[in-house]
Structure 1
Amino acid sequence: MSLIHVTNLTFGYDDSYDNIFEKVNFQIDTDWKLGFAGRNGRGKTTFLNLLLGKYEYSGSISAKTNFEYFPFKVTEPKDNTIDIIENIYPDYLLWQVMRELSLLQVSDDVLYRPFETLSNGEQTKVLLATLFLKENRFLLIDEPTNHLDMHARQIVSEYLNTKRGFILVSHDRAFLDHCIDHILSINKTQIDIQKGNFSTWWENKKMQDNFELAENEKLRKDIIRLQAAAKRTSDWSDQVEKTKFGTKDSGLRPDRGYIGHKSAKMMKRSKSIEARQRSAIEEKSMLLKNIETSDRLKISQTDFYTNRFVELQDISMFYGQKKVCEGVQFTIERGDRVALYGKNGSGKSSLIKLICGEDIFYTGTIRKASQLIISYVAQNASHLNGNLSDYSRDHKIDESIFKAILRKLDFSRVQLEKDISDFSDGQKKKVLLARSLCEKAHLHVWDEPLNFIDVISRMQIEELLLEYRPTILFVEHDSEFCKNIATKIIEL
Structure 2
Amino acid sequence: MSLINVSNLTFAYEGSYDNIFEQVSFQIDTDWKLGFTGRNGRGKTTFLNLLLGKLEYSGTISAAVSFDYFPFTVEHPEHLTYDVVSDIYPDYEHWRLQKELSLLQLSEDVLYRPFESLSSGEQTKVQLAALFLKENHFLLIDEPTNHLDIHARQLVSQYLSRKKGFILVSHDRAFLDQCVDHILSINKTNIEIQKGNFSDWWLNKQRQDQYELNENEKLHKDIKRLSDASKRTGQWSQEVEKTKNGTRNSGSKVDKGYIGHKAAKMMKRSKTIEQRQHTAMEEKSKLLQNIETSDSLKISQLVYPKSQLAELDHVSINYEGKNVCQNVSFSIEQGDRIAVTGPNGSGKSSLLKLILGEEISFSGTFRKGSQLKISYVSQDTSNLRGSLSDYARQQEIDESLFKAILRKLDFSRLQFEKDMAWFSGGQKKKVLIARSLCEQTHLHIWDEPLNFIDVISRMQIEEVLLEYEPTMVFVEHDREFARKIATQTVELEG
Task: Tell me if TM exceeds 0.5.
Answer: yes
Q: Alignment RMSD, CA only?
A: 2.7
Q: Partner of 1:144: helix, strand, or coil?
A: coil
**Any idea what SS the aligned residue of 1:62 has?**
strand
Q: Does 1:425 align with 2:437?
A: no
The one-letter code matched in structure 2 to 1:487 is T
Structure 2 CA distance for aligned equivalents of residues 115 and 234 of structure 1: 80
User: What is the match of residue 395 of structure 1?
Assistant: 395
| Partners of 1:411 and 1:241 in 2: CA distance | 55
> CA 1:186–1:316 in structure 2 vs 1: closer, same or farther (change >3 Å)?
same
SS at match of 1:446: strand
Q: Give the unaligned 5+ runs of structure 1.
A: 247-258
Q: CA deviation at 1:329?
A: 1.9
State the alpha-carbon separation in 2 of the partners of residues 238 and 24 from structure 1: 50
The Cα shift of 1:104 comes to: 0.6
Report matched runs for 1:196-345 at 5 Å.
196-232=196-232, 276-345=276-345
SS in 1 for 2:286: helix
Name the aligned partner's letter for residue 451 of structure 1: N
Supply the AA of the counterpart residue of 2:307: N
The residue number in structure 2 matching 1:451 is 451
Comparing 454-463 with 314-323, greater Cα deviation is found at: 314-323
Deviation for aligned residue 1:271: 7.5
What one-letter code is carried by the residue in structure 2 that aligns with 1:206? Q
- Structure 2 gaps of 5+ residues are 247-258
Return the letter of the residue paired with 2:227. Q
One-letter code aligned to 2:71: P
- Quote the Cα distance in structure 2 between the aligned partners of 1:388 and 1:241: 61
In structure 2, relative to structure 1, the CA distance for the partners of 1:370 and 1:23 (3 Å cut) is: same
Match of 1:182 in 2: 182
Per-residue CA shift, 1:3-54, capped at 9, x if unaligned? Answer: 0111111112223332111211110000011111112111111111111111
Q: Which moved more, 1:379-388 or 1:407-416?
A: 379-388
1:110 to 1:43, Cα distance in 2 relative to 1, 3 A: same
Letter in 2 for 1:123: Q
CA separation of 1:126 and 1:332: change in aligned 2, threshold 3 A: same
Inter-partner Cα distance in structure 1 for 2:169 and 2:206: 21
1:435 is aligned to 435
1:42-81 matched pairs, under 5 angstroms: 42-81=42-81
Q: Percent identity?
A: 71
Distance 1:144 1:394, change over 3 A: same
Q: How does 1:476-487 map to 2 (within 5 A)?
A: 476-487=476-487
SS at match of 1:335: coil
**Residue deviations 1:173-195 (CA, integer Å, cap 9, x gap):** 11111111111111111111111
- Alignment match, 1:251: none
Query: 1:222-263: per-residue Cα shift (whole Å, max 9, x none)?
Result: 1112333444456677889999999xxxxxxxxxxxx99999
- In 2, distance between residues paired with 1:356 and 1:15? 44
Who is 1:252 aligned against?
A: none
Q: What is the distance in 2 between the residues matched to 1:389 and 1:242?
A: 62
Structure 1 CA distance, aligned partners of 2:102 and 2:382? 33
2:169 match: 169
Alignment partners' CA distance in 2, 1:327 and 1:307: 24
Within 2, Cα distance between the matches of 1:139 and 1:3? 14
Show the counterpart of 2:462: 462
Question: Which residue is equivalent to 1:373?
Answer: 373
Note if contact 1:237-1:267 (Cα within 8 Å) is conserved in structure 2: yes
TM-score normalised by structure 2 residue count: 0.91
Taking the aligned partners of 1:434 and 1:274, their CA distance within structure 2 comes to 47
Partner SS, residue 287 of structure 1: coil
Q: What does 1:110-189 align with in structure 2 at a 5 Å threshold? A: 110-189=110-189
1:5 match: 5
8 Å CA contact 1:241, 1:263 repeated in 2: yes
CA contact 1:237–1:264 (8 Å) conserved in 2 = no
Report the TM-score when normalising by structure 1: 0.91
Q: Which letter does structure 2 place at the counterpart of 1:403?
A: K
Question: Any conservation in 1 of the 2:307–2:334 contact (CA below 8 Å)?
Answer: yes
CA distance in 1: counterparts of 2:333 and 2:469, whole angstroms:
12
Q: Is 1:40 aligned to residue 48 of structure 2?
A: no
Match of 2:352 in 1: 352
Q: Which stretch shifts more, 320-329 or 204-213?
A: 320-329
Residues 197-206 or 317-326, more deviating: 317-326
Q: Deviations over 1:412-464 (max 9, x none)?
A: 22122222222222111111111111111100111111111222222122222
In structure 2, relative to structure 1, the CA distance for the partners of 1:265 and 1:19 (3 Å cut) is farther
- Mark the CA change 1:454 to 1:238 in structure 2 (over 3 Å): closer, same or farther: farther
Distance 1:61 1:428 in 2: 32
- 1:193 lines up with 2:186 in the alignment: no
Q: Is the 8 A contact 1:296 1:463 kept in 2?
A: no
The verdict on how the C-alpha distance between 1:358 and 1:203 changes in structure 2, with shifts beyond 3 A counting, is same
Contact kept, 8 Å, 2:300 with 2:468, in 1: the verdict is no
Instruction: Tell me which amino acid in the other structure corresponds to 1:219.
Output: L
Q: Give CA-to-partner distance per residue, 1:349-383, whole Å, 9 cap, x none.
A: 11112211222222332211001111111113244
> CA 1:113 to 1:322, structure 2 compared with 1: closer, same or farther past 3 Å?
farther
One-letter identity of the residue aligned with 1:212: E
Equivalence for 1:256: none
- Mark the CA change 1:281 to 1:158 in structure 2 (over 3 Å): closer, same or farther: same
Distance (Å, rounded) in 2 between the aligned partners of 1:88 and 1:343: 29
| Cα distance in 1, alignment partners of residues 229 and 385 from structure 2 | 53
Q: Do 2:81 and 2:110's aligned partners in 1 also have CA atoms closer than 8 Å?
A: yes
- Matched AA of 1:441: T
Count of residue correspondences: 484
Q: 1:240 to 1:384 in 2, by over 3 A?
A: farther
Tell me whether 351-360 or 468-477 shows the greater mean CA deviation.
Answer: 351-360
**Which of 236-245 and 443-452 deviates more?**
236-245
Q: CA deviation at 1:403?
A: 0.6
- The AA in structure 1 aligned to 2:165 is G
